[in-house]
């Protein structure tokens, strides 16, 4: 059975809190979704805002290899002038091969919201669909609030579907708009609709208000639906839409169904991250299949098992969806974790049990004192290299002073003064910054740049502070996690102290030391060839 995938990231997804997207972003995402094999891309509502109108004008210049572009709107606002309806004509003017319109299938909405009788609501759906079909478009009818409507009055809900079919609708999409239905209800209702309208393609559109959007979508397909709507990363209004990043691999890998994304499945994680970046939302690290933590292992027993056979604690091969297995080091780690992580950086500890135990003991001691190496793999590698006598710091802090000035008028300034020793030379420097940590970062780079010009490539891309032992109040330890990048590689480092400046400096120092170690190791390996 073939399942058609309908993506509404660019329409329904943009209604999610915190989602920010420009016309150019939408065009770029549409192109990437086409490359991934999405069948229908809903680009927006051209009759509702200038941004979506501009998108459809510019989208006419896009060359899709597979996907069909879809414009979204509603049924006409008035029965008296369907052909003159601004919204419907905006759909026609968008010039897309597919249009999607929603209509009321819950009596509560049609009677109280629109003030229409049952017959009038049915006629509005019929005439709106028929008008759009007269332009030769494929029409998808979104039966808004269908499951709530069916539970309230099944005869009314089904009669509205019948009106859409008589108008010429090509696909009937049953919408769980409030996201409150259970899989058992979805299965029962979709089965009935499929039996009633078997000659028309049945689709499903679910929301995640009960954390069941993906489950309800898959259940609908088991009941006979062959068209599924959702968004990448599950973005959308309230709790979001059904997540295509979970639906698609489940369809292909678990249900053995045919979709047009099968050959591109290994790029799923990449597309997910691309969409996250362009809609300006931080990735969900715990997302199924594509999250950074989806195949991450921390417990020593788990790690020992997956090293032997990953099927023991992984439901699929991570590479199938473009993800990868990760092993974390922490106070829960055993020697298996350390050996695995060491192997990742090219160090074989399989024959050195004493060193493995020594590293494990050191990690556990550091974690007891507040350190955490989940996401700080660069700091872990420096510990490992130092225990093997392969690494020693490229610089030494002799003295530091950070001055912060502020007043009630809102004036503020920060200055950091550092004395650093490099190769027996003392470098004394100072720098201002936007806050004490920024001043410290600038001063450290300024002091080292003469000796190590390659650090100019380093950019700090994330900075997090976590207060430990909150009961100690302002005397509590803090853990600073820093993520850095040189545009080629990204790495994380960590520092802990009761002094946030000191903790920040430790994390910054590890970040620069890691970059320098990798840079000079690469030069040595190149010279040896």
pLDDT bracket for residue 287 (50, 70, 90): very high
**pLDDT of 272:** 95
Q: How far is CA 473 from CA 73, 465, 467, 478, in A?
A: 54, 15, 9, 11
If one counts every other C-beta atom within 10 angstroms of the C-beta of residue 432, the result is: 13
Under 8 Å between Cβ of 496 and 482: no
Residue with token string 């579907």: 161
CA atoms within 13 A on the CB side of 168: 14
**pLDDT of 329:** 63
Query: 110-169, pLDDT tens digit by residue?
Result: 887 788 899 999 999 999 999 999 999 999 999 999 999 999 999 999 999 999 999 999
**Two domains, one topology: 369-388+457-505+514-529 and 395-451:** yes
Does residue 362 register a pLDDT over 70?
A: yes
Can you name the residues that pair with 291 across neighbouring β-strands?
A: none
Q: How far is CA 511 from CA 147, 193, 454, 507, in A?
A: 53, 59, 13, 6
Q: How far apart are CA 125 and CA 103, in angstroms?
A: 6
**pLDDT of 266:** 96
Under 8 Å between Cβ of 465 and 500: yes
Comparing 191-200, 310-319, 491-500, the range with the smallest average pLDDT is: 310-319
**pLDDT of 334:** 61
Tokens at residue 492, please?
């994380």
Residues 6+ apart with CB under 8 A from 11: 42, 43, 44, 45, 52, 72
Does residue 349 register a pLDDT over 80?
A: no
Comparing 144-158, 164-178, 202-216, 318-332, the range with the smallest average pLDDT is: 318-332
**pLDDT of 283:** 87
Tokens at residue 28, please?
């770029």
Under 8 Å between Cβ of 431 and 443: yes
Residue with token string 């503020």: 412
* Region for 18 from its dihedrals, namely left if φ exceeds 0, alpha if ψ lies in -120 to 50, beta otherwise: left
Q: How far apart are CA 272 and CA 256, in angstroms?
A: 22
What is the domain partition of the chain in residue ranges? Answer: 4-279, 296-360, 369-388+457-505+514-529, 395-451
Taking residues 84-89, report their average pLDDT.
94
pLDDT bracket for residue 368 (50, 70, 90): confident
**pLDDT of 472:** 67
pLDDT bracket for residue 300 (50, 70, 90): low
Higher pLDDT, 214 or 109: 214
CATH number for the region 395-451 comes to 3.30.160
Antiparallel, parallel or unpaired: β 171-176 and 138-144? parallel
Does residue 330 register a pLDDT over 60?
A: no
**Class of CATH domain 369-388+457-505+514-529:** alpha beta
Q: What angle do CA 382, 386, 390 make, to 5 degrees?
A: 100
Q: How far apart are CA 59 and CA 336, in angstroms?
A: 52
pLDDT mean across residues, the chain: 90
Q: How far apart are CA 130 and CA 69, in angstroms?
A: 20
- Which residue from 258, 213, 203, 267 is spatially nearest to 240, judged by alpha carbons? 213
The string of DSSP letters for 343-407 reads HHTT---TT-HHHHHHHHHHHHHHHHTT---TT-HHHHHHHHHHHTT----S-EEEEEEEEEEE-
Comparing 14-28, 87-101, 357-371, the range with the smallest average pLDDT is: 357-371
Q: How far apart are CA 496 and CA 473, in angstroms?
A: 16
Tokens at residue 386, please?
């130092």
Q: Which CATH architecture has domain 4-279?
A: Alpha-Beta Barrel (3.20)
Can you name the residues that pair with 413 across neighbouring β-strands?
A: 405
Query: 380-436, pLDDT tens digit by residue?
Result: 889 888 888 889 999 999 999 999 988 888 888 999 999 999 999 999 999 998 888
Q: How far apart are CA 507 and CA 511, in angstroms?
A: 6
Comparing 62-66, 219-223, 448-452, 469-473, the range with the smallest average pLDDT is: 469-473
Interhelix angle 118-133/86-93, nearest 10 degrees: 20
**pLDDT of 313:** 84
Taking residues 203-211, report their average pLDDT.
98
Under 8 Å between Cβ of 93 and 119: no
If one counts every other C-beta atom within 10 angstroms of the C-beta of residue 226, the result is: 17
Q: How far apart are CA 510 and CA 208, in angstroms?
A: 41
Which stretch of DSSP H or E encloses residue 500?
helix 500-528
Tokens at residue 233, please?
């990363």
Q: How far apart are CA 175 and CA 195, in angstroms?
A: 18
Instruction: Report the share of the chain in percent with pLDDT over 90.
Output: 68
Strand runs labelled E in 171-300? 171-176, 201-206, 227-230, 296-297
Does residue 260 register a pLDDT over 90?
A: yes
Rg (CA), the chain: 29
Q: What angle do CA 234, 265, 245 make, to 5 degrees?
A: 10
Query: 435-486, pLDDT tens digit by residue?
Result: 888 999 999 999 999 999 999 999 988 898 988 876 666 678 899 999 999 9
pLDDT bracket for residue 529 (50, 70, 90): low
**pLDDT of 493:** 94
Instruction: Report the share of the chain in percent with pLDDT over 70.
Output: 94
């Amino acid at each position: 059975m073939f399942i058609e995938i309908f993506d509404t990231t660019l329409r329904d997804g943009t209604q999610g809190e915190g989602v920010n997207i420009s016309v150019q972003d939408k065009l770029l995402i549409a192109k990437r979704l086409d490359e991934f094999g999405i069948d229908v891309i809903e680009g927006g509502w051209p009759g509702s805002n200038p941004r979506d109108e501009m998108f459809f004008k510019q989208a006419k210049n896009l060359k899709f290899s597979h996907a069909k572009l879809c414009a979204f709107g509603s049924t006409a606002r008035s029965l008296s002038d369907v052909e003159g309806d601004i919204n419907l004509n905006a759909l026609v003017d968008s010039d897309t091969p597919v249009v999607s319109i929603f209509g009321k299938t819950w009596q509560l909405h049609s009677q109280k919201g629109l003030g229409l009788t049952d017959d009038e609501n049915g006629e509005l759906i019929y005439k709106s669909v028929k008008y759009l079909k007269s332009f030769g478009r494929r029409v998808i009818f979104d039966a808004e609030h269908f499951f709530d409507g069916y539970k309230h009055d099944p005869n009314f809900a089904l009669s509205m579907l019948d009106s859409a079919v008589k108008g010429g609708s090509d696909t009937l999409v049953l919408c769980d708009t409030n996201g409150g239905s259970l899989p058992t209800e979805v299965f029962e209702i979709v089965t009935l609709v499929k039996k009633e309208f078997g000659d028309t393609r049945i689709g499903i559109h679910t929301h995640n208000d009960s954390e069941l959007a993906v489950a309800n979508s898959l259940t609908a397909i088991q009941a006979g639906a062959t068209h599924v709507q959702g968004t990448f990363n599950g973005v959308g209004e309230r709790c979001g839409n059904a997540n295509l990043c979970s639906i698609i691999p489940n369809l292909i890998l678990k249900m053995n169904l045919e979709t047009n994304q099968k050959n591109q499945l290994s790029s799923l994680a990449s597309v997910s991250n691309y969409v996250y970046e362009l809609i300006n939302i931080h990735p969900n690290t715990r997302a199924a299949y594509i999250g950074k933590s989806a195949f991450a292992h921390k417990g020593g027993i788990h790690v020992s098992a997956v090293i032997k056979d990953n099927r023991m604690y992984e439901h699929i091969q991570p590479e199938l969806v473009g993800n990868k297995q990760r092993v974390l080091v922490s106070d829960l780690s055993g020697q298996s974790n350390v050996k695995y992580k060491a192997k990742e950086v090219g160090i074989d500890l399989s024959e050195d049990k004493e060193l493995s135990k020594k590293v494990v003991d050191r990690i556990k001691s550091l974690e007891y004192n507040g350190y955490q190496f989940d996401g700080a793999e660069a700091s872990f590698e420096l510990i490992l290299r130092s225990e093997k006598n392969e690494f020693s710091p490229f610089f030494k802090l002799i003295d530091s002073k950070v001055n912060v000035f502020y007043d009630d008028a809102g004036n503020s300034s920060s200055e950091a003064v550092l004395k650093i020793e490099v190769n027996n030379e003392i470098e004394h420097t100072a720098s201002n910054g936007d806050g004490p940590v920024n001043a410290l970062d600038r001063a450290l780079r300024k002091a080292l740049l003469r000796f190590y010009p390659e650090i100019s490539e380093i950019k700090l891309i994330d900075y997090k502070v976590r207060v430990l032992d909150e009961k100690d109040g302002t005397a509590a330890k803090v853990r600073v996690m820093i993520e850095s990048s040189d545009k080629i590689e990204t790495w994380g480092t960590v520092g802990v102290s009761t002094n946030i400046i000191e903790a920040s400096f430790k994390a910054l120092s590890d970040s620069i030391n890691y970059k320098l170690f990798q840079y000079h190791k690469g030069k040595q390996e190149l010279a040896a060839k």
